[in-house]
Structure 1
């Protein structure tokens, strides 16, 4: 399994949202440059096995944050890239991670995958790997991102009672 990462975590609550990967944004991985192309996640998200895709912390399978099949992780491929939303669990890990994000200590996201269809080219004398189709296994929150172009925010869950009270007050006006 190969692992790629990206950055920009911004705290505001109990739900992580943003982009784990952005299309057509090159990442310098040292020996080569890697670019994720539009549609790279389409097949894997449509597969029956997609329900097993997990959200974890620091690529550690024991640090589970959510799972697609449980509805605590949501993934969407759009024109920009692979968007995600993770409901942070009310666990020590969930609370600690929210705090680390608030402090700015954890400032990135990543993903684990196996390439299904890639293409190697050369640009400006450097090898470039284009990812056109991947088997996605995980998205992860990490302090050591490789891709700098993803974005992540932490959002607060709005309590249902507050939402209902607001709707009631608006209806009475």
Structure 2
């Protein structure tokens, strides 16, 4: 599974009954620098890249830091709403008052309130033909046209670590893709 990310922003609201609503977005059309220097590598998601995953209604989780042991909400539980439009993938999650009593949720809400958690990072898989790598005047650009959304996470720093960038295919024209083990992840 691959991860993308954005500082698109998180918004937190609390209701009178103690429920917490978390809202965030992953914007489309914003190129991200993954690697600088002479071998500059960038990536951009086209509008509605996650559209098919959002439309199919399958279960997708909102997680803390891509950790399935730290769920905040899910579509199956009715606590996560995803919206995909030309501008961004947007989510709204309702955290019940009972969930706020869970230690990792309290930790997450504390780090969010302190301004330490700012990013949104989707976990995704790119199907064959779902991306294109091309060379331009600024280096290589990977354009993700369609991707299967597996989860979306709130993260401290949404950036792909350089050590994991090498796991992907960077051949202009979208040559063969390396099959990744689930533990080999990208972060944006």
For Structure 1 versus Structure 2, the TM-score category normalised by the shorter chain is 0.7 to 0.9
RMSD (Å), alpha carbons: 1.8
Aligned to 2:159: 146
Aligned to 1:104: 115
Residue 78 of structure 1: how far off its partner (Å): 1.5
Aligned to 1:42: 51
Aligned to 2:28: 23
On the 8 A contact 1:56/1:65 being kept in 2, the answer is: yes
Cα distance in structure 1, aligned partners of 2:48 and 2:135 = 22
Cα distance in structure 2, aligned partners of 1:108 and 1:59 = 12
Q: Does 1:122 align with 2:122?
A: no
Q: 1:33 aligns with which of 18, 29, 42?
A: 42
Residue 110 of structure 1: how far off its partner (Å): 0.5
Cα distance in structure 1, aligned partners of 2:79 and 2:154 = 15
Consecutive unaligned residues in structure 1, runs of 5 or more: 148-173
Q: Which has the higher contact order (CA 8 A, sep 6+)?
A: 1
Show CA shifts across 1:64-92 (max 9, x none). Answer: 11111211111000221101111123222
On the 8 A contact 2:132/2:143 being kept in 1, the answer is: yes
On the 8 A contact 1:9/1:104 being kept in 2, the answer is: no
Residue correspondences, number: 144
Residues 12, 113 of structure 1: CA spacing in aligned structure 2 closer, same or farther, 3 A cutoff? same
Q: Which has the higher strand share?
A: 1
Show CA shifts across 1:7-66 (max 9, x none). Answer: 2345543211020x2111001111521100012111112225x2x211100111100111
Cα distance in structure 2, aligned partners of 1:68 and 1:78 = 18
Question: For the pair shown, which has the larger CA radius of gyration, 1 or 2?
Answer: 1
Q: 1:83 aligns with which of 73, 83, 90?
A: 90
Cα distance in structure 1, aligned partners of 2:134 and 2:4 = 19
Consecutive unaligned residues in structure 2, runs of 5 or more: 15-19, 161-188
TM-score by length of 1: 0.76
